[in-house]
Structures are given as structure tokens and as C-alpha cells.
A and B are shown apart, each in its own frame.
Chain A
Amino acid sequence: MSLRLSYSKKRRIPPRILVAKLGLDGHDRGIKIIAHALRDAGYEVIYTGLFQTPEVVAQAAVEEDVRIVAVSILSGAHKVLLPKVVKLLKKKGARDVQVIGGGIISAKDAERLKKQGIARVFGPGTPVQEIISFLDRELERS
């Protein structure tokens, strides 16, 4: 299928991103769409698979040397699990890796997560284009 979105042009060095499903929920429609769209936008998308723990995600981020980890979580466990990823990344000396989250996350929770070091939270229905533009900007900066 041809995409007519305004994706940025082919890059010389493709950016790498880790996309992860954290916790026990198996809803992977969203993350698959994001992964697919990111690949079409020229990203190298490393996927962890379902049911990952914060430890596995943080270790993967270090080994894959990504700048951004995109975590999908729809179970309501985000309050516990997302900050844990940030903490573990710090512990592993990867403080510069940004964690972004997507899922059923209330505005109040999103605010709290921001204070705990989550770079950005995207709610249901966020256009893929908006997410990709955000990532493009962040990568440009770093």
C-alpha cells in the first residue's frame, strides 16, 4: 500500500527505535500500526514482543543503543511499570534514552508520569503522523 502521509524523506542513516509491549495485556493493534508506520517512515523498528517486564525493556534499549523507547500499555499497570523502565535505564547508565508511552492513560496519570521522567504520553486515537513528527523532532534534537 502506498502511503501519502508527509513522512520525512529517506535518511542516510536510519534512526533506530525500540517498541515494546509492557505488562500482561495483549492488545497489539496500536503498536503494530505504529511499528508499520515507523518502518514506512524509514525507522529501524526493534520489537520486543508481548508481555515484557521493565527489566527486559531497559536491557534491550541499552543493547540496541536506541535513543527512544516507545512503550504500549493498555492494562492500567502503567503507573507501576513505566516509571520502572525509566529508573532501570538510569541505573544502566542510559539516562539519555527517552521513554514515551501510549495507552489508556488518564490526564492525571499522564501528568504524574511526566514528573517521573516519561517524555510523552499519547492517548488512544492519536494520529500516527503526530507521533512520528514528535519522534522526528526529538531525534533531530539529540
Chain B
Amino acid sequence: MKKRIYTARDIRGLKPRRDLGVPGTFPYTRAIRADLYENRFWTMRLFSGFGLPDETNRRFHYLLKQGETGLSVAFDLPTLLGYDSDDPQAEGEVGRCGVAIDSLEDMELLFSKIHLDQVSTSMTINGPAAILYAMYLACAKKKGVPWSKIRGTLQNDCLKEYIAQNTWTFPPVPALRLITDIFAFSARHVPKFNTISISGYHIREAGATAAQELGFTLANGFTYVEAGIRAGLAVDAFAPRLSFFFNSHLNFFEEIAKYRAARKLWAQTMKRRFKAREEQSLKLRFHTQTAGCTLTRQQPYNNIVRTAYQALAAVLGGTQSLHTNSLDETFSLPSDETAKLALRTQQILAHETGVTQVVDPLGGSYYVEALTAGLEHQAREILNEIRREGGVLACIESGWFQREIARSAYAEQMAIERREKIVVGVNAYAEPDEKSALHILEVSPAIEQKQCRRLKGLKKKRSARRVQRALDRLQERAESQQNLMPSLVEAALSNATLGEMTRTLKGVFGEYEPPTVL
């Protein structure tokens, strides 16, 4: 029997000042700011990208006109893996589930007529994050925008790629080096950019539970902090720019508790284990995306409702930025119309519901506090288990994470199939002969050739000598232990392509072979 009533007895051990703090004070369980949403709502950004850079640029302008407050770039799979559009591996994939970016020229088209000092840009890129970041920095440079003024977030979280998302480019050890190079370089030159977005989102989408999402993500976060310290950085030099990215799933109160527990665990560990002093190093800032895996193909309009509840949970949990999924994402990438509706969902939440008027309105609820403490406890156990198994890298190598996630995913699917878990429109209230009348976004198959032609043109007009020189220097740097960012920016400015830079680095770093986990 599930417990149905929570009382003061369920939070007996809770010491408000120690465990919760006032919003804006350690351990930040309730919120990282006392004035959360008072003067500024969360950043509303929709993950967007498809086709050619100019098409995505049009979508960016459309969304900004609709009131979006930040950009979020979705790259296509070849880009995510470090392949150029003309690579044989890229066949059929160019511009399909994101925008194709091969070079600085494409990056400039992507941000055409967008003021990089006035909008923050989030880039979902991991394996070759350093390369795309270099292109972005080069783009800013060419636009005359100083790096000190650009804001945004690089996802740059390779560990979760090996654990759940599978878009890796290099083996884990050199991948960590690229990440700490970005930490060090940005601390000096790009102080307002979030250098990483440590992501539980994909871990959850792959099938993990809320507690696993929390535990695995924090374990990854601590691994990055250790790597930064090992690379010789002071914790307070880079920790303030670390950010997080969580899922917002369907179990409403559990999700809110998850964000609260995450803030507390991060703050305590940063302070105690890593001896961080700066307040900014202790505050866990996070982006949220509503759970794509909860969307159904059946009765797709139901997805609007699911997304709205999930968005509400994220806001009640104190998110700093939010993506809401579109109702048609089980069919294709969102259309203009459905993307707009997803954005309106956030705007209604912000302006009409009144939920932003009080910080952490659920703080002190017997149930939510008990859930928060429970998730914190489970996450600590998971963190201990990872340590016993030899740490995050060892767990990746042995397939431990992958097995744990696969087990949870299977259990969830079986619960749905046995109807222990109800999915409206799927295993209950189904309409067997429903017809979908959705207007689906079509990405033209012609864009692949178009992008390849553009790439060919670029290779003809750029200086081959300059490119070669830049790639040679990149290789030298990679073989040494020097920071790779300056030579990546230089290579980007020479119009070297993503594929060329990736190949150069793979030549030094080797390839990754994942363990086989079924």
C-alpha cells in the first residue's frame, strides 16, 4: 500500500536551517536566489535546428519575434559526431534532426543578423564541443563582439554520452582533457559562458529513474570538478560556470523534490569535499527540458497537457531556463506552429498562473520535504556505489551505468505493458482507428546535396596552406599538454572544417569502443 498521508512525523529529522536554508542561502535547497523570478523569469528557449544553417536562422528569428529569450541550437547527427556533411557516414542524416554545421562559414549563416552580445546561446554539442565552441568564438570575433560579452551554454558533457546518449567522438580521457581546456580557456577569455551543462536529461530519457538521474548526474559533475582540479585549476576559477540540465518527467512532486535535492547535494559537496569558497561555486543552476520520452504518438494533442504539467514542475523546482517539447515530436521535428504553442505554454505559466510570485512555494510541505530527503538519500547511496565500483570512468568501461539504465527502462516498459502504469491514449482510453491530422515538418532531401556543394565551394576558395598550417599546429598542441582552444579558434578562422579538425584530434586521441551492454 502506498503511503497516502504525510505528517510532521515524516520530516522529524529535518532541520530547516541546516537542510533547507532560506531561499538564496546555503545549502540552497529552496532556491539559489531570494529574488527568483521577481525581475526576470527563467530563460525561455526552444531547442531548434533543422536543415541548412539559413533555414535554422529563419526559425531563430521567428522564435525571437514570438518572445523567446534565448537561443538553443540543435545540430544534426553528423555534426554531433564530428563528421562533415560530405562524409560517407553522413548519408541520409544531413540536416535531419538538427542543423548541419561544417565550418565557420555555416556558423556565420546560422547567426546572421543576430547580436551575439544581446542573446544567450545554448549549444547542444558534446564530443566535438570544443570545435563548435571555437567556431562560435571565431564568429563573434568576426562580428566584432568581444568574448567578454557573449553569454550562453555549451553542453560539453561527454560522460553522459558514454553513459546514455551515445554521441561520443573521442575516448573518455582525452574528452575530459578537452573539457578542462574549455574550463581554463573560458575562465580567462569568455567569463560569462557556461562551459558545461552537466546533463541528467539524456540519462533519464534512456530509461533511468529520478534517483538514478540525480545520482549519475551529480557523480558526473563531481568527476568534472576533480578533472578541473587535477588539470591545475582552482575550484573557484571554474566551478561558477558549471551548469546542469535536468529532465522534467511526469511524477510531479518527485520531480520538484529532485531539483531541490540536487541543489542541496551539490552545494554541500562543493563546500565540504572540494573546499569551494565562492558562493557561485555552490549554487546549482539548471536548465530543464520536459520529458520527450513521455510524449505519445497516439492522440498527440495530449502531449500539450503533459508538457504543461512538466513545465510547471520545473518552475516550482526553480529552474533557470526551460525548453518545452512540441506536441508533434513523436512524428518529426516541430513545425513553426507547434513550436510556438510550446513557447506559449511557458508564457502562460509565467504571466497568467501566478506560480512565480513566491519562491519555492512548496517548501515546508510534509510530502515534498520528505520526498526531497528521500531522493537525497537515494542519490547518496548511488554516489557511494559508483565510488565502490571504482568511479565514473570505471563504471562506464564496465558497462555498469548502461546496465542499470537498461534495467530501469525495461522495468518501466513492462509496467506499462501490464497496465500497472497507465499512459492515456496508449494503454487506456485508446482510439484504435484514430487518424492524425497533424501538419508535419518536412526536411527536403535536396538539402544534403546543397550542403555538400557549399562545402565543396568552401574548400575551393579557402587557403589550403593556411588550413594545413592550422591543422598541423592543432596536432602539435594535441600531442603536447597545452590548451587546445587557441589552436581550435585559429583553425576555425582558417575555415578548416569540423571533420578535418575532428580527424586531426582522433589521429592523436584514438577512437572510443563502448562495452557491449544488452
Determine whether the beta carbon of B410 is less than 8 Å from that of A36.
yes
A125 within 8 A of B: yes
Determine whether the beta carbon of A123 is less than 8 Å from that of B297.
yes
Interface SS majority for chain B: loop
How many B residues have CB within 8 A of the partner chain?
49
Determine whether the beta carbon of A26 is less than 8 Å from that of B165.
yes
Q: How large is the interface on A (under 10, 10 to 19, 20 to 34, 35 or more residues)?
A: 35 or more
Determine whether the beta carbon of B78 is less than 8 Å from that of A36.
no
Q: Which of A8-16, A60-68, A75-83, A88-96 contacts B (4 or more CB under 8 A)?
A: A75-83
CB-defined contacts of A137 to chain B, threshold 8 Å: none
Determine whether the beta carbon of B166 is less than 8 Å from that of A28.
yes
B508 within 8 A of A: no
CB-defined contacts of A76 to chain B, threshold 8 Å: 93, 96-97, 332-333, 443
Q: Which of B84-92, B135-143, B384-392 contacts A (4 or more CB under 8 A)?
A: B84-92
Within 8 A of B (CB), among A1-57: 1, 3-5, 23-29, 32-33, 35-37, 45, 47, 49-51, 53
Determine whether the beta carbon of A29 is less than 8 Å from that of B331.
no
A116 within 8 A of B: no
Q: Which of B336-344, B412-420, B477-485, B494-502 contacts A (4 or more CB under 8 A)?
A: B412-420
Interface SS majority for chain A: loop
Given contacts A77-B93, A77-B96, are A1 and B414 in contact (CB under 8 A)?
Answer: yes
A115 within 8 A of B: no
Q: CA–CA, A37 to B412, complex, Å?
A: 12
- Which chain A residue shows the least CB distance to B207? A29
- Which chain A residue shows the least CB distance to B413? A33
Q: CA–CA, A26 to B158, complex, Å?
A: 14
CB-defined contacts of B355 to chain A, threshold 8 Å: none
Determine whether the beta carbon of A32 is less than 8 Å from that of B406.
yes
Q: CA–CA, A47 to B445, complex, Å?
A: 29
CB-defined contacts of B93 to chain A, threshold 8 Å: 23-24, 75-77
Determine whether the beta carbon of B167 is less than 8 Å from that of A26.
yes
B180 within 8 A of A: no
Q: CA–CA, A15 to B411, complex, Å?
A: 24
Q: Which 3 A-B pairs have the closest CB atoms?
A: A26-B166, A80-B92, A76-B96
7 CB < 8 A contacts A-B = A1-B414, A28-B206, A36-B518, A77-B77, A77-B92, A125-B297, A125-B426
